Amino acid sequence: MPQHNRPLTHDERKAAEAAFKGAPFDPKWSDAARKVYLGLSTAIANKRNEAFEEIQPATPTTLAKRAVTEVKERMRVKSTLW
């Protein structure tokens, strides 16, 4: 599908700004503005998901088990001090 370079219309520009800000879509905008908004919103959401996937630990269950073990150990030490 060929892409044509042209300046954005006023409502397309407003839709792009709203998408970047996370603001809601204005139903008064045109169908072309809706496409701009949905396209940018989808792309931004996908980028955020990719970023979260990169920073998640590889083994979350191991970290959770370690945290529970540490809490149990602290409780055991406190109970022996009383």
Scan for tokens 């030490």, then name that residue. 77
1-5, 30-34, 48-52, 59-63 — which one is most confidently predicted on average?
A: 30-34
The residue written with tokens 């139903």 in the block is 27
For residue 62, being part of any structural domain is answered with yes
> What sign does the CA torsion over 7, 11, 14, 15 have?
negative
Locate 57 and state its tokens.
């630990």
Does 3 fall in a domain?
no
Host domain of residue 28: 10-81
For residue 1, tell me if it sits in a domain. Answer: no
Q: Is residue 25 in some structural domain?
A: yes
Residue 1: which pLDDT band, with cuts at 50, 70 and 90? Answer: low
Better-scored residue on pLDDT, 2 or 18 = 18
Averaged pLDDT, 66-79: 61
Mapped onto helix, strand or coil, the DSSP state of residue 19 is: helix
In sequence order, the 6+-apart residues with CB closer than 8 A to the CB of 30 are 9, 11, 12
pLDDT of residue 58: 56
pLDDT tens-place string over residues 17-55: 999 999 999 999 999 999 999 999 999 888 776 665 666
